[in-house]
Amino acid sequence: MRYKPGKHRLPPFTGYGIMLVDKPILWTSFDVVNFVRNRFNVPKVGHCGTLDPAATGLLVLVLGKFTSYSEKLSGEDKCYEADMLLGVETSSGDIDGEVTSRKDPSQITEELLRSTLAGFIGEQMQTPPMVSAVKVDGKKLYDLARKGIEVERQAKPIVIHSLDITECDLPRCKFTLNCSKGTYVRTLCSDAGKKLGVGAMLTNLRRTRSGKFDIANALTIEQIRAFSQEDLGAYLARGLTLLMKG
């Protein structure tokens, strides 16, 4: 829905602050921004770190004059819960892409998987996937990918602070990840699959933390729908108080 402030039933919302949202699956990050903007007639809303439509979890929104903090907050470390499937590769590295390869992963042991994933901990260079919002010559990679165009991408420095397998039921495993901004978890899965020689894909991703903000404090879309402008103002005021204390 296009935002039309002049025709909105509510007056422009003049409050400001940070809103934590638990993004549902199939919503884009912009869908969430647009929802809040239209729901409350907020002239300025931004987000601090994109989540793919297939991913869920913490999306940090900045409202009003707090949009000036977007770049700073986007640069903070992130935590994720992820599911990986061995033996399958896709064009996007996750479930949204077309299957490009299938191999038998039965020879992969849990010990080998753990040691391989442990090898990704630390500073490294990672090449962004074609299906991403990274720009090359002013064009977003996912726009080029939709046209069947693949271009050379420049690897970027990232840091994996920790990577822990929480459940292993081969050929599937679940892990938690603490990493720097700009880390693509589907690329991490793909790279791990290549090292193992069988391929791998990301099947589920949930962001649980961004900087000091935790998913436990995030609002669902249903909770936001029940808010009035006054409720939103009170929510932002409480958040600003906590930020100042922190």
Rounded to whole angstroms, the Cα distance separating 201 from 216 reads 27
Q: Which of 52, 83, 96, 169 is catalytic?
A: 52
Output the CA torsion sign for 166, 25, 50, 135.
positive
52 is catalytic: yes
Encoded tokens for 26:
């199939």
Q: Which residue numbers are catalytic?
A: 52
